Amino acid sequence: MEMLSDDEIAAARLADWRKLAQGLHARYLVESFAAAARFVTAVGEAGDAVGHHPSVAVGRGHVDLKLVSADAFYRDGEGTEHVVEWVTEQDLDLARRITAVAAEHGLRADPASVSVVELGLDTARSATIAPVWAALLTGDAESQGRGSPSDEVRDATGRVPNLWFGDAVEHEAPRQRFHVEVYVAPEVAEQRIAAAVAAGGTVVDDSDAPALTVIGDQDGNRGVVCVAGAPAPPD
């Protein structure tokens, strides 16, 4: 299926879900592990009905879900098709079904609490160094380029954060090359930035806000608060 834009995803009005990085994420609050197990079983049945399933993580008092299509595609400006991991219509369909399942189980969503962490590495030689990082992070050099047309490193099992490569020129003087990207729900981005500043951080660059806000610590290290899409509009 064709990948969807952030605007198309927002137009779907998925109140329980947030688009973070490549996928849709939701957290549902549960009172017990048994309640979580019953919910996950029902989610599995909903996925069986459409032949598509989310990634699931059960924690203390919550169930986290991620929806993404491994075979989404897009056409670049030259008409070439690329297969990528991204949100498609089948993800929107299953998200709606899961929302209905959660309502049947009396569960409340907590969309403001979802987040995703990715790693960024600025380099002028991504094709050269990517296999090293793929092997180091996942144990398999073939993890390079999986689900992305670039040299990005992704673990198929989701054990470690994605590592993407930013374009950079070579510098003689030492400079930070790694940085952390923290994807958060749009409604909590300002609070997250304010908390970092209150803790001693500095807003280094907000020229691309609210999508990207660069935060620096007292040693000059930098991280990025990322917002992938607007929250669902109210009914």
CA distances from 207 to 7, 204, 210, 213, 214 (A): 21, 9, 9, 8, 9
Residue among 93, 72, 99 nearest 5 (CA): 72
Summarised one tens digit per residue, pLDDT across range 133-143 is 999 899 888 88
Output the pLDDT for position 110. Answer: 98
Which residues does residue 75 pair with via DSSP β-bridges, in sequence order?
81
Look up the pTM and report it. Answer: 0.88
167-195 pLDDT tens trace: 776 655 556 688 899 999 999 999 999 99
Binning pLDDT at 50, 70 and 90, where does residue 144 land?
Answer: confident
d(CA 235, CA 232): 9
Domains of the chain, first to last: 6-109 (3.30.1360.20), 119-226 (3.10.180.10)
